């Protein structure tokens, strides 16, 4: 019994005395490791079997899908980094948690969050890596975060003691810090919850030295809509500023600067040590020279930019995949895997050339849908694939439910626990509400809100324009044709409008509230 009492705390098992008899009743609270990358498209995870799976596999992230569940319809409430993070913490839409757009107002850390509730229930809680909410984290026993977007090489960190610099590559550093905390947390005998947030693969996509040449010579398959001309759609698609052809920069994004004195070059290598800089120059120097000789333009230039974009973006993901492998290996070696929920996701989806774009924000599939993989031994059937409409709005409720804690009435999502067990309730959501606010702003994507069902999407752009769009994902899976004004869809349009109105009432959104968030013209 003594040996058992020493081992069970490491697995997150605690004993509760009942009617004066110790160890009469036991409850098991799972440990939770929530791994989130930044801008990791589901198309770039090989478990999803998309076009990049064969050339850029992610074997360690795929292990979570193999041992757990892959979600094919995880939808975000507001496709941009900070607001997604706030929604995950609070289980509330942006208009309810107060964080509508990046770098506008700090996240209100005094409000209720799931880490606070877990902490109050005896969990050890930690946040390591990217935070991006413009305030100090609350609800964590330990936090160690990147300031703002952070740096890839030799990054700064901030903790309760202040700001300091680490040497190395950011993904590797976050991994080492996380493993060190996990080892300490396991010794206490209390359940733990770690939020491990990677910077990668955020723009400007700077791979680790060891992965710079990972995809040298690889020809990445093209998305079908790389040269989308936005016919059959409205002003929002035509007026955005996030195309590979025009917006993506040759210098800072793709590392093609005129000389080593250029500001973009200095920014890229300014934090590097001599060894890192030498590896960087050895890799990008020949690419730069070759590009200068070709004098590309038009379609050929866009094709070249896409290939370079994929090379660097996917090389950044290689480090993330290695990180996930290290965490999974540690859990298995320590025995903690048996009672630990492991989640892998991204703050939102991302465009990898679809519609000619990079970045996110729109309610179109690649940015609206985020990857989600979850393993939980003994609860989730290995190799499961789920197509239910789940959301980052549900994460907080799910973690609380898994820990056996009550879900606050003011949270707006639903626990996914029955879904994880393979028992999706009959009344599970059949439609999902979306709202994006950051305009005017980066990439000039118009403010919009909408509703998505399994088949259709209804979107309303507002503020400086008033346009509606309707997409049929069965007849038009690439979302290339707006059928809002097509008489054949009049009944669908009417039904979706009613669903949209009902969701806005349900989630306490309104035209009056949206107007209060508008910038003054």
Coil vs helix vs strand at 10:
helix
pLDDT tens digits, 316-330: 999 999 999 999 999
- Give the pLDDT score at 91: 98
pLDDT-derived band of residue 521, with 50, 70 and 90 as boundaries?
A: low
What percentage of the chain exceeds 90 in pLDDT?
92
d(CA 250, CA 257): 7
- Give the pLDDT score at 27: 61
pLDDT tens digits, 271-316: 999 999 999 999 999 999 999 999 999 999 999 999 999 999 999 9
- Give the pLDDT score at 299: 98
Residue 276, H or E segment: helix 274-294
> What's CA 168's distance to the chain center, in Å?
23
- Give the pLDDT score at 11: 33
Q: What would the mean pLDDT of 84-109 be, rounded to a whole number?
A: 96
- Give the pLDDT score at 104: 82
Count CB neighbours of 367 within 10 A: 26
- Residue 441 half-sphere exposure toward CB, CA atoms < 13 A: 17
Q: Do 342 and 484 belong together in one domain?
A: no
Q: Do 107 and 161 belong together in one domain?
A: yes
pLDDT-derived band of residue 520, with 50, 70 and 90 as boundaries?
A: confident
- Give the pLDDT score at 9: 35
Q: What would the mean pLDDT of 168-179 be, rounded to a whole number?
A: 98
For residue 311 the two structure tokens come to 């090379």
pLDDT tens digits, 416-439: 999 999 999 999 999 999 999 999
Q: Do 87 and 149 belong together in one domain?
A: yes
Q: What would the mean pLDDT of 219-225 be, rounded to a whole number?
A: 98
- Residue 80 half-sphere exposure toward CB, CA atoms < 13 A: 25
Q: Do 500 and 401 belong together in one domain?
A: no
Residue 228 within a domain: no
pLDDT at 19 over 70: no
- Give the pLDDT score at 239: 98
pLDDT tens digits, 119-137: 999 999 999 999 999 999 9
The least confident of 11-15, 237-241, 246-250, 504-508 is: 11-15
Q: What would the mean pLDDT of 366-388 be, rounded to a whole number?
A: 98
pLDDT-derived band of residue 22, with 50, 70 and 90 as boundaries?
A: very low
Helix 59-67 × helix 298-334 angle, to 10°? 60
- Give the pLDDT score at 28: 84
Q: Which of 405, 430, 455 is the last residue before a domain boundary?
A: 430
pLDDT tens digits, 51-83: 999 999 999 999 999 999 999 999 999 999 999
Q: Do 80 and 187 belong together in one domain?
A: yes
Which residue do the tokens 């490491």 mark?
10
Q: Do 173 and 40 belong together in one domain?
A: yes
- Give the pLDDT score at 447: 98
Q: Angle at the Cα of 199 (from 338 to 228), degrees rounded to 5?
A: 110
Can you give the residue range of the structural domain that contains 479?
Answer: 433-516
Q: What sign results for the dihedral spanned by CA atoms 283, 285, 290, 296?
A: positive
Q: Do 192 and 322 belong together in one domain?
A: yes
Per-residue CA distances from 520 to 218, 328, 361 (Å): 48, 49, 22
Find out whether 69 and 381 touch, Cβ atoms under 8 Å: yes
pLDDT-derived band of residue 25, with 50, 70 and 90 as boundaries?
A: very low
pLDDT at 247 over 50: yes
d(CA 136, CA 145): 9
Q: What sign results for the dihedral spanned by CA atoms 394, 74, 88, 195?
A: positive
Q: Which of 387, 412, 430 is the last residue before a domain boundary?
A: 430
Q: Do 355 and 455 belong together in one domain?
A: no
pLDDT-derived band of residue 10, with 50, 70 and 90 as boundaries?
A: very low
pLDDT at 463 over 70: yes
Q: Do 113 and 89 belong together in one domain?
A: yes
d(CA 106, CA 30): 31
d(CA 368, CA 362): 7
What percentage of the chain exceeds 70 in pLDDT?
95
Phi then psi for residue 400, to 5 deg, are: -65, -45
For residue 362 the two structure tokens come to 């729109």
For residue 485 the two structure tokens come to 């004004």
pLDDT tens digits, 140-152: 999 999 999 999 9
pLDDT at 382 over 90: yes
For residue 474 the two structure tokens come to 């069965």
First vs last C-alpha separation in the chain: 71
Q: Which of 289, 292, 284 shows the shortest CA–CA distance to 308?
A: 284
| Total number of domains in the chain | 2
CA dihedral 185, 187, 191, 195 (to 10 degrees): 20
- Reported pTM: 0.94
pLDDT at 370 over 80: yes
Find out whether 104 and 126 touch, Cβ atoms under 8 Å: no
CA dihedral 116, 117, 122, 126 (to 10 degrees): -40
Which residue do the tokens 């005896």 mark?
122
The CATH number given to whatever domain includes residue 50 is 3.40.720.10
Q: Do 321 and 178 belong together in one domain?
A: yes
| Count, residues in the chain | 521
d(CA 492, CA 488): 9
Phi then psi for residue 448, to 5 deg, are: -155, 160
Q: Do 441 and 410 belong together in one domain?
A: no
Q: Which of 375, 397, 430 is the last residue before a domain boundary?
A: 430
d(CA 354, CA 213): 25
pLDDT at 170 over 70: yes
């Amino acid at each position: 019994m003594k040996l058992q009492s020493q081992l069970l705390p490491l697995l997150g098992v605690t004993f509760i005395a009942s009617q004066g008899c110790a160890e009469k009743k036991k409850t098991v609270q799972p440990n939770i490791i929530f791994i989130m990358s930044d801008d990791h498209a589901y198309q770039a995870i090989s478990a999803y079997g998309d076009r990049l799976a064969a050339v850029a596999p992610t074997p360690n992230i795929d292990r979570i899908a193999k041992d757990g569940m892959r979600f094919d319809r995880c939808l975000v409430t507001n496709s941009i980094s900070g607001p997604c993070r706030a929604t995950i913490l609070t289980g509330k839409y942006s208009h309810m948690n107060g964080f509508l757009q990046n770098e506008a107002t700090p996240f209100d850390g005094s409000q209720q969050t799931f880490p606070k509730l877990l902490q109050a229930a005896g969990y050890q809680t930690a946040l390591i890596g990217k935070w991006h909410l413009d305030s100090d984290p609350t609800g964590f026993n330990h936090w160690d975060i990147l300031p703002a977007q952070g740096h890839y090489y030799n990054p700064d960190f901030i903790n309760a003691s202040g700001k300091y610099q680490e040497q190395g590559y950011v993904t590797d550093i976050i991994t080492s810090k996380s493993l060190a905390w996990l080892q300490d947390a396991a010794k206490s005998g209390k359940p733990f919850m770690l939020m491990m947030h990677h910077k990668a693969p955020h723009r400007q996509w700077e791979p680790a030295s060891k992965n710079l040449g990972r995809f040298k010579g690889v020809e990445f398959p093209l998305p079908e809509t790389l040269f989308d001309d936005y016919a059959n759609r409205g002003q929002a698609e035509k007026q955005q500023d996030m195309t590979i052809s025009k917006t993506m920069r040759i210098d800072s994004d793709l590392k093609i600067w005129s000389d080593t004195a250029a500001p973009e070059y200095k920014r890229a290598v300014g934090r590097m040590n001599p060894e890192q800089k030498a590896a960087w120059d050895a890799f990008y120097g020949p690419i730069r020279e070759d590009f200068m000789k070709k004098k590309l333009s038009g379609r050929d230039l866009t094709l070249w930019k896409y290939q370079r974009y994929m090379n660097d973006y996917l090389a950044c993901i290689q480090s993330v995949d290695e990180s996930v492998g290290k965490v999974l290996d540690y859990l298995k070696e320590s025995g903690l895997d048996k009672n630990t929920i492991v989640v892998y996701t991204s703050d939102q989806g991302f465009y990898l050339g679809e519609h000619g774009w990079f970045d996110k924000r729109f309610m179109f599939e690649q940015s609206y849908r985020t990857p989600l993989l979850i393993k939980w031994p003994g609860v989730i059937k290995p190799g499961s694939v789920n197509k239910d409409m789940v959301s980052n709005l549900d994460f907080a409720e799910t973690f609380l439910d898994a820990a056996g804690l009550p879900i606050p009435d003011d949270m707006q999502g639903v626990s996914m626990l029955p879904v994880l067990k393979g028992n999706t309730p009959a009344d599970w959501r059949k439609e999902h509400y979306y709202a994006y606010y950051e305009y005017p702003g980066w990439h000039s994507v118009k403010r919009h809100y909408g509703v998505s069902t399994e088949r259709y999407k209804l979107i309303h752009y507002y503020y400086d324009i008033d346009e509606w769009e309707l997409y049929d994902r069965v007849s038009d899976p690439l979302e290339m044709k707006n059928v809002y004004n097509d008489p054949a869809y009049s009944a669908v349009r009417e039904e979706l409008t009613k669903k949209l109105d009902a969701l806005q009432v349900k989630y306490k959104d309104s035209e009056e509230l949206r107007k209060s968030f508008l910038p003054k013209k």
